């Protein structure tokens, strides 16, 4: 029996694990891949307060070690079934079954992938899904932005602060972004548009060096090769990792709404990080969510078991 089971080992889940274990609660973090989530695909993180620059994987490993130092347990396994409605939460993975007094859902979201050959091979090596994370690495270089909606154009405008040229590759002959974003993009001299086109393949060796496009109306194939490095930023939507919780946890278009203390509609079940209904999805906001979720879970357990909650007092006195 665990006090807290955290589902997901990204920044939100690792911070929740840290705060849970630090509060002397029996805490388990379950992650199906490697710790870090999306930041593990980021070459450098330079916008996390207090850390000038760090490799995304190194940051994740450091977070995991902090959890372990306070006694958190880790299971690298895939969750296949959950029962969250009762007082005792039941989690079944591919290899084990667990029970817990509380659950913190921190399974995050995944960028919608292009699905073309070469994409998986060059993630973090020329291909990115996060402008805030990686735009600065392409200062003075060309960048290809895949997508034409609000997110794509908004992120492209941010990237344009660094890049020499922005090439927007869109499968339609006009943008789907809001008129205000379109006006800003069309007025920006760095922007160029490749209409009615999709990515067929990405090639390279150590990094992405060739981009193969196909015009969906003419079927004409264009191979883009450059002597200098260039970036490929993909913004064609995100998919929250919440499918397994449907029918139990309330959702809005796959995302989980919470209150300010990360409570979901189910007692003892909390959500943190990118899968929440929220406006800003960054490492620092995910960590904040995780900390709040764990503190709220601690308070929930204390009140349910009839103990006087001392967490906030002890924190302020420390």
CA–CA distance, 192 with 49 (Å, rounded to integer): 35
Burial of 81 (0-12, 13-18, 19+ CB in 10 A): exposed
We find that the CATH architecture of domain 120-234 is 3-Layer(bba) Sandwich (3.50)
pLDDT digits (tens, 9 = 90+) for 246-268: 999 999 999 999 999 999 999 99
Cα-Cα-Cα-Cα torsion 109, 110, 112, 118, nearest 10 degrees, comes to 170
Q: Yes or no: say if 179 and 263 are a contact pair by the CB < 8 Å rule.
A: no
| 40-49, 79-88, 305-314: range with highest mean pLDDT | 79-88
Tally of CB atoms within 10 A around 269: 25
| Of 187, 189, 131, residue with least CA distance to 158 | 131
Q: How confident is the model at residue 45 (pLDDT cuts 50, 70, 90)?
A: confident
Q: How confident is the model at residue 316 (pLDDT cuts 50, 70, 90)?
A: very low
Is 275 strand, coil or helix? coil
314 membership: H or E segment, kind and range:
helix 311-317
CA–CA distance, 34 with 14 (Å, rounded to integer): 12
Residue with tokens 């709040």: 292
Q: Yes or no: say if 257 and 276 are a contact pair by the CB < 8 Å rule.
A: yes
2-111+238-317 and 120-234 in the same fold: yes
Q: Yes or no: say if 211 and 127 are a contact pair by the CB < 8 Å rule.
A: no
Computed on alpha carbons and rounded to an integer, the radius of gyration of the chain in Å comes to: 22
Is 300 strand, coil or helix? helix
SS3 labels along 57-94? HHHHHHHHHHHHHCCCEEEECCEEEEECCCCCEEEEEC
DSSP string, 201-227: EEEESSSEEEEEEEETTT--EEEEE-S
Q: Yes or no: say if 196 and 174 are a contact pair by the CB < 8 Å rule.
A: no
Q: What phi, psi does 281 have (nearest 5°)? A: -120, 95
Is 1 strand, coil or helix? coil
Residue with tokens 């020329």: 126
Residue with tokens 């869109």: 170
pLDDT digits (tens, 9 = 90+) for 4-23: 999 999 999 999 999 999 99
Where is pLDDT greater, at 238 or 202? Answer: 202
Give the residue numbers annotated as catalytic, written as ranges.
130, 133-134
Residue with tokens 């503190």: 295
Cα-Cα-Cα-Cα torsion 287, 42, 48, 110, nearest 10 degrees, comes to -30
Instruction: Find the range with the poorest average confidence among 126-130, 275-279, 312-316.
Output: 312-316
We find that the CATH architecture of domain 2-111+238-317 is 3-Layer(bba) Sandwich (3.50)
pTM of the model: 0.73
Q: How confident is the model at residue 28 (pLDDT cuts 50, 70, 90)?
A: very high
pLDDT digits (tens, 9 = 90+) for 62-106: 999 999 999 999 999 999 999 999 999 999 999 999 999 999 999
User: What residue spans define the domains of the chain?
Assistant: 2-111+238-317, 120-234
Q: Which two tokens stand for residue 208?
A: 């992405």
**Average pLDDT, integer, range 184-208:** 96
Distance from the Cα of residue 253 to its chain's centroid: 17
């Amino acid at each position: 029996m665990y006090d807290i089971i955290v589902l997901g080992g990204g920044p939100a889940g690792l911070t929740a694990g840290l705060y849970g274990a630090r509060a002397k609660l029996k805490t388990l973090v379950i992650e199906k891949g490697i710790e870090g989530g999306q930041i593990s695909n980021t070459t450098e993180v330079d916008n996390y307060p207090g850390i000038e620059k760090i490799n995304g994987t190194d940051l994740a490993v450091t977070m995991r070690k902090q959890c372990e130092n306070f006694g958190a347990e880790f299971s690298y396994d895939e969750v296949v079934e959950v029962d969250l409605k009762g007082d005792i939460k039941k989690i079944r993975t591919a290899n084990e079954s667990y029970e817990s007094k509380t659950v913190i859902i921190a399974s995050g979201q995944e960028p919608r992938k292009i699905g073309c050959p070469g994409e998986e091979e060059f993630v973090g090596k020329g291909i990115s899904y996060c402008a805030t994370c990686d735009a600065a690495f392409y200062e003075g270089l060309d960048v290809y932005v895949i997508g034409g909606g609000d997110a794509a154009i908004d992120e492209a405008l941010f990237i344009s602060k660094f890049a020499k040229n922005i090439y927007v590759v869109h499968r339609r002959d006009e943008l789907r972004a809001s008129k205000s974003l379109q006006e800003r993009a069309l007025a920006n001299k760095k922007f160029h548009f490749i209409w009615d086109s999709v990515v067929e393949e990405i090639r390279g060796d150590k990094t992405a060096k060739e981009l193969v496009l196909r015009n969906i109306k003419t079927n004409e194939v264009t191979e883009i090769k450059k002597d200098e490095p260039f970036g490929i930023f993909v913004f064609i939507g995100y998919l929250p990792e919440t499918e397994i919780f449907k029918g139990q946890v309330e959702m809005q278009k796959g995302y989980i709404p919470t209150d300010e203390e990360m409570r979901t509609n189910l007692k003892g079940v909390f959500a943190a990080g990118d899968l929440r209904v929220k406006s800003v999805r960054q490492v620092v906001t995910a960590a904040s969510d995780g900390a709040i979720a764990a503190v709220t879970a601690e308070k929930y357990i204390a009140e349910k078991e009839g103990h006087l909650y001392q967490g906030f007092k002890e924190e302020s006195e420390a």
